[in-house]
Amino acid sequence: MQANPSLREAFLEKCRSHVVSPVSRPPAVVSDRGKLELEGARLTENYPDALTDTHGLLSAAPFVFKTGSPWPKATGGPDAQPFRRRLHPIGDHPIVSSWDQILTDILEYLKGAGDTFNGILPLGFGNVREPTAFCPLVVAICVEPNTIGFEAAKTVASHVKTDILAGAGFGDVDVAIWELEMSFSGTAGLTSLDPGLGDEAYRLAVRTVEKEIGTLLEAIESEEKRMWGLQARLDRGVEDMDGKIACSIEDAERNIESAIGTIVPLIGLHDEVTKLMSIVDNRVIGRVLFADPIGVSSDGDGYTRDWAAIKMKPGASRDDFQGNKVYIDDKLNNRKFLECMFPHAADRDGARYPDSGLMQLHDVVPAHELTKFKHLNANGDPALAVLKNGMMTGTTMGWLSQLDSLVRRTDLTRGSLDFWSRELTIVPHEAERGAFSEKGDSGSVVFDRGGRVVGMLTGGGGSATSTDVTFATPFCEIEKRIKEVLPDARLLD
């Protein structure tokens, strides 16, 4: 039976509606700055740089106090726009070998100093569009907003700097008390009783296919207009002495044919999914084989443990399904990938974009490489660029720090869950306009430019609406635990 032409056109128009017009301006980055400026008096009265120290960060979360000299400020009087800050990862810093003990000492002190603290974050700070950080390392002691006074903040920061950091030989490292909220989205808590892929996951899959079709339709229309314009020039008698116009017309025709060739199977996939997978029972792909209780991997300050193993039912995937691949072409094309993942000329061996934008995951970054990077950033310094494709933000890029953070995990909905855990620390890549992750991205796999798995995303730090810093559990730790429970598991075959 032939499809009703009007229904088919309505479907194609729906696909087009998912596509943002290429001539429209991208949405502006939204921050909480306006709200904070109204509240800023309570902080700037005692610490004048409370807002300017973090101006430009996505959350705009302010400092309560910072030790040391003031950070650079814009000149030009009271009307001058403040410098916009950006976070830097910690690379090859002398403190790396001492950091584990320093973290432990800071945590022990904080546990006796009150119940308001929720994180210890090692970060670099710089200005937007400046290649290097003006502050290569500040230890940020984080608190929930409005939970600590200025004098108490000053006491804590001063003690950490003079007694702990200076005692370890790093008295030049400053300390900030930062009003930063922590988000934690458990991935294996199994609180949902939905027996199949949830409705939101199903709707997202359908929308993704429709958006891809819409994007291809837009590309076809653009190529048709280009082809018609070129043909009109020939029809008006414009000479094509070197054949460039004819070649451009042929190029447009090939692009149109390629797009049509891609759309046809996508429409078939959409038809299959909406006809068969709309029934909830048809979306059941397996059952939970094992779920580790959410907690910490060891007593004291281990890494977050939060994972589950699913046993797939026969026929859940096609015979030709290629597993352990992550799609990055939703936001990251060939040129941007190579520029951002291989920014230094001396570090481009094996530089290539994954076929069809599908990154094959094939190995795990070992623990020793998480504190001794082998890649280089644009300045030639040791660095590790990472990627992920999350449910909320899609494909994003970031930089991993060589120093772990310590983060307090609390969730009253899960039986008063409350523990401190070590976390990999990830900051947004300077080429990104937004965060590396947002709420809803937890559980995403974080990997490097070659497809080696770095970690599993567990949460972030920022505000209720924006994330500045992302946290992850090293996958080498997860792999170790999986092999304890499921010794025959083949993770990356």
Q: What is the per-residue pLDDT across 199-216, written as a single tens digit (0 to 9) for each?
A: 777 888 888 899 889 999
> What's residue 35's pLDDT?
58
> What's residue 192's pLDDT?
47
Displacement of CA 227 from its chain's centroid (Å)? 39
Token couple for 109: 């002190």
Taking the whole predicted model, whether its pTM rises above 0.85 is answered as no
Q: What are phi and psi of 141, to 5 degrees?
A: -95, 115
> What's residue 7's pLDDT?
67
> What's residue 36's pLDDT?
57
- Taking 70 as the pLDDT cut, the residues of the chain under it are 1-5, 7, 20-39, 185-198, 299-301, 411-416
> What's residue 455's pLDDT?
97
Give the percent of the chain with pLDDT over 70: 90
> What's residue 364's pLDDT?
96
Q: For residues 9 and 225, what is the distance between their CA atoms, to the nearest angstrom? A: 20
Token couple for 225: 């207009």
Half-sphere exposure of 267 (CA within 13 A, CB side): 16
Ordered by start, the domain boundaries in the chain are: 5-22+196-283, 46-179, 287-485
> What's residue 276's pLDDT?
80
> What's residue 31's pLDDT?
45
pLDDT digits (tens, 9 = 90+) for 82-132: 999 999 999 999 999 999 999 999 999 999 998 899 999 999 999 999 999
Helix (H) or strand (E) holding 122: strand 117-127
> What's residue 243's pLDDT?
87
> What's residue 17's pLDDT?
84
> What's residue 283's pLDDT?
79
Fold annotation for 287-485: Thrombin, subunit H (2.40.10)
Structure-derived torsion over alpha carbons of residues 338, 343, 346, 349, reported in degrees to the nearest 10? -20
> What's residue 97's pLDDT?
95
Angle ∠(151,152,157) on CA atoms, nearest 5 = 100
